Amino acid sequence: MKRALALIDSKMAQAKNWLRDPHAQPGDPGEQAIRQILDEAGKVGELCAGKERRDIVGTAKTLGQLTEQELKGKMQEAMTQEVSDIFSDTTTPVKLLAVAATAPPDAPNRDEVFDERAANFENHAGRLGATAEKAAAVGTANKSTVEGIQAAVKSARDLTPQVTHGLHPHETKAD
């Protein structure tokens, strides 16, 4: 019993900090501390009898469910922020790529600028796809919506290299 109390005391500060921090991530040490505390409380409850046992085990179970709700809420908030960040500007990378692709043949560093902007475009497209897939996986969308998102991401991944290759200054007829 003393060992369980010592463990709970040592984990309590981490757990409180995690619960107070709106930016705490799922899986952080604070969440792990909460799970360990609840696990230990359940073990202590199992050692008790009668009403005391029911109360402790029931409370540990209820707190575990509340922790799951808190975790789902934090995951939803984090996903919403990520979607907002990545999808806030979807046009700049393609606009910059188009400018680089139509640069005059004698423009300084034309190939280097194009290669840099093509890499940025491909990187951004990859992040858009990965974020969309994560949002579909964590969200509450139905099966057909999730499948639609996955199909759109696959198409975008297939087309992205074709776009950069087709726009490359050496591939255009302007040269």
pLDDT digits (tens, 9 = 90+) for 101-125: 999 999 999 999 999 999 999 999 9
Which amino acid would we find at residue 103?
A
Instruction: Using 70 as the pLDDT threshold, list the residues of the chain that sit under it.
Output: 1, 22, 139-141, 171-175
- List all residues 6 or more positions away from 3 whose beta carbon is below 8 Å from its beta carbon: none
Whole-number Å distance between alpha carbons of 170 and 110: 10
Give residue 153's pLDDT.
Answer: 92
Give residue 117's pLDDT.
Answer: 96
- List all residues 6 or more positions away from 77 whose beta carbon is below 8 Å from its beta carbon: 22
Give residue 7's pLDDT.
Answer: 74
Give residue 91's pLDDT.
Answer: 92
Give residue 141's pLDDT.
Answer: 67
Give residue 140's pLDDT.
Answer: 64
CA torsion through residues 92, 96, 97, 98, sign: positive
Q: Global pTM?
A: 0.61
| Helix, coil or strand: residue 98 | helix
